[in-house]
Amino acid sequence: MHATAAPTTIAIRARDVTLSLGATEILKGIDLDIVNGESLAILGASGSGKSSLMAVLSGLERASGGTVSVAGTDFGALDEDALARARRGRIGIVLQSFHLLPTMTALENVAVPLELAGHDDAFGRAGEELHAVGLGHRLDHYPAQLSGGEQQRVAIARAMAPGPAILFADEPTGNLDAATGAAVVELLFGRQQATGATLLIITHDPGLAARCDRILEMRDGRVIAERRA
Ligand SMILES: Nc1ncnc2c1ncn2[C@@H]1O[C@H](COP(=O)(O)OP(=O)(O)OP(=O)(O)O)[C@@H](O)[C@H]1O
């Protein structure tokens, strides 16, 4: 019996991507295809270009050369407004140091960006997502009243609330102890599986990388190795 493979669709395609800041060439020709729903770990020494690659693939930074296409849209062909529209709701980002607003509760941290993006029921959606990350009982807590692991859960809820097709995480467990980090990793993969999102994780943790479908290793602005986990 032959199963007909569903056509794989490319979430992110990079072709000969370079990034120069001033006289420094940071990315030196990256070629990459990331399939929808795939999880990909990016490993590499400090300064190898991991965060820069994430910035370019997520549209935070424009490539100096080459092309980055997300869901078939060439980011380089878009002006600032069109790029912001293309990114909005489609790309979620979780960073190592959470970046929650200290004067807002957990619920507000998740709801306010949704509200600004014009979501009809921002607070309802934010509450659902905070329940999904296990923080239904912490909605009215401020970041300073939450543990590091809880703050990272809020940051994950904020990134996931608009229903992004792609989630980027830059060392999401870097500021957490091992047990808390492991719980956050379970949560990330759980949310990925529940939503079918594509997941890109920058990590120094080989155990976390091994949980991903594929591992890229960077050195000096280039991808030097690639393997299936
Ligand atoms: N704004 C900038 N101007 C000039 N050089 C920069 C700038 N930002 C980053 N770099 C340089 O680009 C290189 C890659 O940095 P990047 O942050 O992407 O590395 P990384 O692999 O994510 O490192 P880490 O694991 O330490 O976060 C480094 O040598 C860094 O010093």
What is the residue with the minimal CA distance to atom 2 of ligand 1? 21
Q: Compute CA 8 distance to the chain's CA centroid, rounded to the nearest angstrom.
A: 20
Q: Is the minimum distance from the CB of 203 to ligand 1 under 6 angstroms?
A: no
- Residue 141 has a pLDDT of 97
Q: What is the pLDDT of residue 96?
A: 86
pLDDT at 195: 93
Over the chain (229 residues), the average pLDDT of each successive run of 10 is 61 97 95 96 95 96 96 93 91 90 97 93 96 94 95 94 94 88 89 94 90 96 93
CATH architecture entry for 39-49+85-228: 3-Layer(aba) Sandwich (3.40)
Q: Whose CA is nearest to atom 28 of ligand 1?
A: 47
In the reported structure, the alpha carbon of residue 195 is separated from the centroid of ligand 1 by a whole-number distance in angstroms of 31
Helix (H) or strand (E) segment spanning residue 210: helix 206-210
Specify the pLDDT at position 8.
67
Q: Where are the domains of the chain?
A: 39-49+85-228
Q: Write the ipTM.
A: 0.92
What confidence score (pLDDT) does residue 181 get?
Answer: 87
How many Å is the Cα radius of gyration of the chain?
18
DSSP letters spanning 104-143: S-HHHHHHHHHHHTT-TTHHHHHHHHHHHTT-TT-TT--G
- Measured from the CA of 54, which atom of ligand 1 is nearest? 18
Q: Is the CB of 44 under 6 A from ligand 1?
A: yes
Confirm if 21 and 169 have CB atoms less than 8 A apart. Answer: no
What pLDDT is attached to residue 39? 97
Say what the pTM is.
0.90
Token pair for residue 52? 């820069």
Structure tokens at 12: 């992110």
d(Cα 215, Cα 201) in Å, to the nearest integer?
A: 10
Tokens of 195: 């939503």
Which of 28, 51, 219 should be mutated for ligand 1, with most atoms under 8 A from CB? Answer: 51
Candidates 15, 3, 5, 11; CA nearest to 199 is 11
Cα dihedral across residues 43, 47, 51, 52: positive or negative: negative
Q: Looking at ligand 1, which residue's alpha carbon is closest to its atom 10?
A: 26
- pLDDT score, position 1: 45
Chain-centre distance for alpha carbon 149: 17
> Is the CB–ligand 1 distance for residue 48 below 6 Å?
yes
Q: From CA 211, how far away is CA 193, in angstroms rounded?
A: 13
Q: Rounded distance, CA 60 to CA 76, Å?
A: 12
Q: Answer yes or no: is the C-beta of 103 below 6 A from any ligand 1 atom.
A: no
